[in-house]
Structure 1
Amino acid sequence: MKKAISYFIEKAADWFFRKRSPALIVLRVGGSILLATLVGSWALTLVYKDAERSLELGYQSSSTAQLFFTIGFFVGIATIVWGAVWEYQRYRDESKRNAKKKTIVIEQRGLVDTSDSPLGEYVKRNCSWLVDTIVNDIRERIIDNVITRPDLALTKVSNLKISIAEKTSQSAASDITIAYGGVFPVPFSFYTGYLLDDESQITVYDWDRDKTDWRRLDGSDDEEKFMVERPSITGKSVVLAISVSYPVDRQAISSVFTNLPIHYLSLPSLDRNNHWSKEKQDRLSGEFFEYCKMLLGQGVEQIHLILASQNSIAFRFGQAYDKRNLPSISVYQYERQKPVRYPWCLKIPHEIGEGAVIAHTEFMYVA
C-alpha cells in the first residue's frame, strides 16, 4: 500500500512539476494564483510563553481588501480548470497521433555483441508510440572478429528494404520514422546507408564503447576538415583511402593496389570519439561526395574505397553516395591478421538493376 501511495505521489509530482506543455504552464500559474490568494487572505499568529511553556497557533482575517482576494481566488480556480481541460485535450490529440506513428529500428550486430542493450529498447525509452525492430545479426559468420562468410551476410543486408516495406505497408509515409545503429563491418554499414538513401527521417545512433550503450549524434562540431593528398598520376580506376577514427594501413594499400593512383583523405585528429556531431558528419559526407564528384570529372569510372571510421560515419557516407551519377564503388574490409589485409570488398555497380556482390582480393586482379 505504501509503495502504491509513493508511486502515485511520485508520478503526480513528475506530471505537475517536470512535464512541459503550454497547458500545464497555465495550470501551474492558476495554482500559484490560488495559493497566493489563500496565503494572503489570512495572517498567521504564533505565541510562545516560556514561563508556562505553552504554544498557541492561530489565524485571523487579514485587513487587506477581501474583494481583491476573492477575485484572485476565483481567477485561480478558473485558470486551473482551463489548464486542466486544455491539457486533457492536448493529451487526447497526442495519443491519437501517436497511435498512428511508428518508428522502425534497424540494429546491425556484428563486431560487438550489443544484444544485452538492444537499440530498440533504448529508442522506446524516448518515445511514446509504437517501436518495431529489425535486427541484422551476422555474428554467427564472425570468428575472432573476422567475418568468414561475407556473401551470406550480404544477403541479410540486401533484404533490409523488403523488411522495411513489410513493416510500413499499412502506414502512411508521414507516420513512419527510422532509427539506425550498429557495430558492423564497414562495407556493410556503407551499403546499408546506400540502400536507405531515399528513406526520410532517419535518426542515426552509434555504439559508445566507453559507456557500452547507444548514443545519439548529439555532440558539437569541431569544424575539422579532411586533409587531402593527391597522387601525381590519374586513371580510370583509383583508390580513395579515408582516415577518420584510425589511420588506414598505407603499406597494405600499396601492396594490394600496386598499379593504381591512391588518394588519401584524413582528419587532423584520428580518434574513436571524434564523430558524435551530426553537423560534422553531414559536412564530412558532403566533402566525401564532392571529392568523388571531382574524381568523376577526371574520368574515373571505378573507386576502390578504403574507409577507417566509426559505424555511423560509414553509414552516412553510404547515404551520401549518389548511385545514379557517381562512378562504381568497391568498399573494402580490413583484417589486420590476414596475409592480405584487405581480403574482400563489396562491389556496388554503377549500372541500375545490378546487385552488389562480394569479390575476394586474392582471386581478383586489381587494376
Structure 2
Amino acid sequence: MRKIFILIFHFAARAIDYYFRLKNTPRYLANIGLILIGSSSITFGAVAAFQFGNVPITASFTFGDAPSAQLVLGFCVLVIGILFEIASHLRDIQRENRRRIAVIELRGLRGVSGAPLAEAIPKSIRGTKDPLLISLKPKDDGQIEPIAAIKEISTVVSTLQQREQGQNRADIVRVFGGLAPVPFLFLTGVMLDNEQGLEAILDWDRDLLKWRELDGVDDLYRFVPSNVQELPDKTDEVILAVSASFKVDIEGALQAAGDLPLVELDLENRSTTSHWSESKQIALAASLRNTVQILKDKGVKKIHLFLAAPASLSFRFGTQFDKRLSPPTIIYQYEPDHKPPFPWGISLPVAGKEEASIEILS
C-alpha cells in the first residue's frame, strides 16, 4: 500500500510540474477546460417574474441542467490545449535537431586530465553536440612547442566555418573551455573574437575536479589601474601588467621587455577562485579593453602584455581584443623555473599583421 501511495504521489508531482511548464496558450486552454469540467456538476439558476398588462410572465434560466454537454465541451477544450502543447513540443524538438553546439575544447597542460568538455554542457543549452578538440601536446619535458601550437590554433576558425557551412546562424551555438598556457588561451579568444558570440564559457574547477559554468556571485571587486592616465603622450612602448589571479612578476617583465614605462591593472582581493562570476568577467574584460584604448589614444605603438589570470578569463580577454584598432601587442608566457621567467611571447595578429608569430627571448 505504501508503494502505491508513493507512485501516486510521484505521478501527481510530475503532472503538476509539467503543468506549470506549459506555455501560455496551452495552459490557458487547459485552465478553461478544467474549469468547465469541474463546474459541470454545479447547478444554479435565476428566475424573473413580471406582468405585462393583465398577463403574468415568468422567465427562468438554469445552468447545469445538462452537465454532459458541459463535460464534453470542457474535455474538448482540454484536448485542444494538450494538442497545442504537443505541437509546440514537436517544434522544439525539430529546432533542437537543427541546432548545433560547437564544443571548442583547448587542451595543453601536461598532467591535467578530466572529463571531455562536451559531457559537461549545461542542460539549458540544447542541441546536437559537435566537439572540436584543439590538442597542444606537450613535449617530453612538459613544454609545448609554441610555433606548432600557433598553427594548431590558427585552424580553429577555418574548421568551424567548414562545419557550419550551409547552416542558419541562428542554429549555431558555440561553447568554449580550455586548459592551456595563458598566451594560447588568449590567442584562441582573439581568433574566435566575439562576432559570432559564445553561448557559454566553462572553466575547470580544480577543487571539484570538473568543468563548471561561470555561475558564481559577483563580488564587485574590480581592477585598480595605476600609471594609466599619468603615462606621457606619444610613449612608444609600454609594459601592461594585468594581475587577476596572481601578482605579475614585474621584475621578470622588465627583464623580458626592457626598462619601459609600466602600466598595471591589479584586481582587488584577487585569488585563483575569484573569477566564477560571468558578470564580473565581462566587467574586467571591458576594463582591459578600455585601458588598451587609452594607451592607443596616447600614441602607444607597442604593448608588452603580461597576464596572470584563470583560463576562462584569459580566453575572454582575448575575445575582447580588437584586432583592427589595438596597437601591436605581445603576450608573454610565464615559466617561474626558467631564467628569465618569460622565455617567449606571442605577437598577436593586428591590422597589417594577419598571422600570429612567436617572439623568442631566450
- Which TM-score tier does this pair reach, normalised by the shorter chain? 0.7 to 0.9
- Aligned runs of 1:277-292 on 2, under 5 Å? 277-292=277-292
Q: Which residue of 2 aligns with 1:312?
A: 312
Q: Tell me the secondary structure at the aligned position of residue 104 of structure 1.
A: strand
Matched, 1:134 2:135: no
Alpha-carbon distance change, 92 to 357 in structure 1, aligned in 2, over 3 angstroms: same
Which among 202, 205, 213 is matched to residue 205 of structure 1?
202
How high is the TM-score relative to the length of structure 1? 0.79
Measured after TM superposition, the shift of residue 194 of structure 1 is: 0.8
Mapped partners of 2:41, 2:140: distance in 1: 72
Measured after TM superposition, the shift of residue 233 of structure 1 is: 6.2
How high is the TM-score relative to the length of structure 2? 0.80
Which among 152, 155, 167 is matched to residue 151 of structure 2?
155
Q: Report which stretch shifted further, 329-338 or 229-238.
A: 229-238
Which among 170, 175, 198 is matched to residue 174 of structure 1?
170
Mapped partners of 1:11, 1:273: distance in 2: 42
Alpha-carbon distance change, 10 to 170 in structure 1, aligned in 2, over 3 angstroms: farther
Q: Report which stretch shifted further, 114-123 or 184-193.
A: 114-123
Measured after TM superposition, the shift of residue 308 of structure 1 is: 0.5
Contact map agreement 1:189 1:315 (CA 8 A) in 2: yes
Alpha-carbon distance change, 89 to 342 in structure 1, aligned in 2, over 3 angstroms: same
Contact map agreement 1:103 1:179 (CA 8 A) in 2: yes
* RMSD, aligned CA: 3.1
Contact map agreement 1:33 1:72 (CA 8 A) in 2: no
Measured after TM superposition, the shift of residue 266 of structure 1 is: 0.6
Matched, 1:92 2:90: yes
Which among 197, 212, 215 is matched to residue 215 of structure 1?
212
Q: Which residue of 2 aligns with 1:102?
A: 100
Contact map agreement 1:194 1:321 (CA 8 A) in 2: yes
Mapped partners of 2:208, 2:39: distance in 1: 50
Alpha-carbon distance change, 340 to 10 in structure 1, aligned in 2, over 3 angstroms: farther
Q: Tell me the secondary structure at the aligned position of residue 141 of structure 1.
A: coil
Q: Which residue of 2 aligns with 1:328?
A: 328
Count of aligned residue pairs for this structure pair: 331
Measured after TM superposition, the shift of residue 31 of structure 1 is: 8.2
Alpha-carbon distance change, 102 to 158 in structure 1, aligned in 2, over 3 angstroms: same
Q: Tell me the secondary structure at the aligned position of residue 97 of structure 1.
A: helix
Alpha-carbon distance change, 116 to 219 in structure 1, aligned in 2, over 3 angstroms: closer
Which among 217, 221, 224 is matched to residue 221 of structure 2?
224
Q: Tell me the secondary structure at the aligned position of residue 121 of structure 2.
A: helix
Measured after TM superposition, the shift of residue 219 of structure 1 is: 2.6
Q: Report which stretch shifted further, 85-94 or 226-235.
A: 226-235
Q: Which residue of 2 aligns with 1:57?
A: none
Q: Which residue of 2 aligns with 1:56?
A: none
Q: Which residue of 1 aligns with 2:3?
A: none
Mapped partners of 2:348, 2:329: distance in 1: 5
Q: Tell me the secondary structure at the aligned position of residue 104 of structure 2.
A: strand
Alpha-carbon distance change, 135 to 93 in structure 1, aligned in 2, over 3 angstroms: same
Measured after TM superposition, the shift of residue 98 of structure 1 is: 2.1
Mapped partners of 1:39, 1:152: distance in 2: 78
Measured after TM superposition, the shift of residue 74 of structure 1 is: 4.1
Matched, 1:190 2:203: no
Measured after TM superposition, the shift of residue 191 of structure 1 is: 0.9
Q: Which residue of 2 aligns with 1:360?
A: 360
Measured after TM superposition, the shift of residue 21 of structure 1 is: 2.5
Alpha-carbon distance change, 259 to 122 in structure 1, aligned in 2, over 3 angstroms: same
- Aligned runs of 1:246-285 on 2, under 5 Å? 246-285=246-285
Mapped partners of 1:340, 1:184: distance in 2: 21
Alpha-carbon distance change, 38 to 119 in structure 1, aligned in 2, over 3 angstroms: farther
Identity percentage over the alignment?
A: 30
- Aligned runs of 1:225-240 on 2, under 5 Å? 225-230=222-227, 234=232, 235-240=235-240
Contact map agreement 2:40 2:64 (CA 8 A) in 1: no
Q: Give structure 2 stretches of 5+ with no counterpart.
A: 1-5, 44-62
Measured after TM superposition, the shift of residue 28 of structure 1 is: 6.2
Q: Which residue of 2 aligns with 1:345?
A: 345
Contact map agreement 2:325 2:351 (CA 8 A) in 1: no
Contact map agreement 1:32 1:76 (CA 8 A) in 2: yes
Contact map agreement 1:30 1:78 (CA 8 A) in 2: no
Mapped partners of 1:163, 1:15: distance in 2: 45
Mapped partners of 2:114, 2:241: distance in 1: 34
Alpha-carbon distance change, 26 to 118 in structure 1, aligned in 2, over 3 angstroms: farther
Measured after TM superposition, the shift of residue 97 of structure 1 is: 2.0
Q: Report which stretch shifted further, 124-133 or 18-27.
A: 18-27
Alpha-carbon distance change, 175 to 343 in structure 1, aligned in 2, over 3 angstroms: same
Contact map agreement 1:343 1:361 (CA 8 A) in 2: yes
Contact map agreement 2:114 2:209 (CA 8 A) in 1: no
Contact map agreement 1:112 1:183 (CA 8 A) in 2: no
Deviation string 1:52-94 (CA, Å, 9 cap, x unpaired) is xxxxxxxxxxxxx964965764454234312210111101222
Contact map agreement 1:242 1:264 (CA 8 A) in 2: yes
Alpha-carbon distance change, 273 to 78 in structure 1, aligned in 2, over 3 angstroms: farther
Measured after TM superposition, the shift of residue 273 of structure 1 is: 2.0
Q: Which amino acid is the alignment partner of residue 208 of structure 2?
A: K
Mapped partners of 2:358, 2:15: distance in 1: 54
Matched, 1:243 2:240: no
Q: Which amino acid is the alignment partner of residue 172 of structure 2?
A: I
